[in-house]
Amino acid sequence: MPGKIVSINISEKKGVRKKPVGEVMLRTGYGIEGDAHASSEWHRQVSLLALESIKKMQDLGLDVKPGDFAENITTEGIDLLSLPVGTHLTIGNGIEAEVSQRGKECHTRCAIYYQAGDCVMPKEGIFVRILKGGKIKEGDTISVSD
């Protein structure tokens, strides 16, 4: 059963909360047009975090919402943590992505940690490379490809 995109978020600078936008263009081998993390030079082109992870932080009393952990795509209904590196995903209408990293190491506490009080992205976020681009919008499906 596919999950869905509940929020798409971008920022002009790295290490800050991202602002929600209704739709974006994903460029093959690059990431989201207009986002600070997009680059053909590395494998962490787009970040994903589950709404379920954000709700865990809300349950701890933090006033956080999608985009506050600097994730590009907030998902619901897909177990991101179970996806090994190399897993292929289909997003929206034929966009293809490949899981390139699970979690990340934070060497210092970033602005998000201080603004939100904690950060789940290092433990529960994933990163993907865009194999086939296109436009995505809130409400689009996201599923594991065969």
Nearest C-alpha neighbor of 74 from the set 126, 14, 12, 132: 126
Apex CA 69: angle with CA 68 and CA 70, to 5°?
Answer: 90
> In the chain, which stretches have pLDDT less than 50?
107
CATH of the domain at 92: 2.40.33.20
Residue 45 domain boundaries: 3-144
Q: Residue 124, class by beta-carbon neighbours within 10 Å (0-12 exposed, 13-18 middle, 19+ buried)?
A: buried
CA distance 55 to 57: 5
Render pLDDT for 19-48 as a digit per residue (tens, 0 to 9).
999 999 999 999 999 999 899 888 989 999
Instruction: Report the domain count for the chain.
Output: 1
What's residue 134's pLDDT? Answer: 98
